Structure 1
Amino acid sequence: MSAVGELMLDVRDLTVRYTRGRKVVSALQDVSVTVGVGETLGVVGESGSGKSTLGRAIVGLAPVHSGTITFAGEDITHAGERRRRDLSKNLQVIFQDPYSSLNPTRTIGQTLAETLRVHGKLSAAEVSGRVASMLERVGLSADAAQRYPGRFSGGQRQRIAIARALMAQPRLVICDEPVSALDLSVQAQVVNLLRDLQTELGLSYLFIAHDLDIVRHLSDRIAVVYRGRIVEQGPADSVYDSPETDYTRALLDAVPIPDPVRQRERREARRARRQGSQSARCAPTVTEMETP
């Protein structure tokens, strides 16, 4: 992780709206975030908060109603399909589900090589070499290229998804809940891998997740999203150690801990805070945030 310097990504006053029947729904409202070169911005919020919509809008998969998205100094808010294809060399995504994000009918080698065929003219030997090198870089053997996704575990598939995202040597990677579908032990391995690759390759990350504890370990700064708006933003340690809103505190309380006594005490303290709060503007109301 590195300090903020030159901006890789600059999102200003972004509003995303969807039409559902006769109703217009704002998924994001006036959201502004930045990601510096070599920096990680963590974007955290509960399911439905709008955090994944932010990532989708940046890569052109969600309709931008207003605001601007600037990547590496270029306004890409309304970039067309051809420009988006060119941008994918420098702007890649790691999706949440390692099971559905890989084509089961193609070998891992075929999947990884596809990016190179789109963005460069390399010989078959050069492509094979790059595929083998990237697989080894993410902790898999080179012979994994000959196998199909069904032969791999969830953690291994997510490593493959990371390798695919990095094949074109991008500058910014949108990590959309990349560890939420994995076991806790595998989550730690993937987070450590992402951190090591960032240091090695000088990557910038927009890391989207609902778990504030995971986000803290990878991020330089954190933006907290609630109902389509940013309610808190700042250095990762400050947001984690001294949250400013009830909503951020509730996200922290929702992180499970292995000690049942401490978990019960924390749950009771959360109830007391809610009962004594004079302002419910940012107070969470969803049951999904309750922990056992």
Structure 2
Amino acid sequence: MMQPFLIRELKTSELHESLIVLYISFNRTIPPDLKNQEKLLISLINYGIAKFLVAEEDGKIIGLGGIFFFGNVCSIGYMAVLPEVRSKGLGTDMFRNLVKIGKSKGCKTFMLYASELGEPIYHKFGFRSKYATRVYNLPIKPLILQKTNKKIKHTDIFPNWAALIDKNTIGFDRSEFLQLKINHGSILITFNKEGFALVSSSRLGPVISKNIHAAVSLINEGIKLGANHIIVPNHSQFPNKFFEFVNLTERDDDSNLKMVYGKEVAQKLDQFYAIGTYSKG
């Protein structure tokens, strides 16, 4: 029996409609900066960093999925299917196609952040659970530090030293991706060649730092710039002393699971304080 839906590559002219499907699928409020998000994703597509698939039924987009390429590492996200068409295998078929695309591009490692809904599907594909992530509200007022830190700087160019720290931390090079985020409005904060952070709208992340002092200084600057939440990875190497310096309030309904398939990637997670974003699925 033929499937009533079609899975195909997204046309950039359909991106707005597809992102609306994403937000409806997770019962989320459509953000005011959606246009900026669209422009960034179009740049990522044009640079060959991202590819998106859509599911279509009777000319209407009912599902979305994306894959991002970082050498031999791929990240899958933006997985969404409208509630009224779930339980038909649509999400599984889209996911299978994304994995196939990744393998054709030479990806040896696949990463994603799974929602409670998507987790069983990914386990069936052989994905392994790594660690949970949680969203926290940041303090409204900046932290009280001993003195104004002159080591904090803002720049429009993602520097080589930051790219090296980032690669050593997460295990692959995403410097081009981060530079494109900066080009499309994210604010880059650096701390004396010891760490960096990005502020994207009201979200602070990633935060990559060689030590807690630099991480706290970066977060404090992010709060000054208007960031109000942060995504913290609950991995085994996370320096829990961090919570003594920053008063975070956990959001009860925002937790995801980092999952990996394929070759393990060497990482230095003790420098990994916050995730930039995840589009769970």
TM-score range relative to shorter protein = under 0.3
- Higher-strand-fraction structure: 2
The structure that is helix-richer by fraction is 1
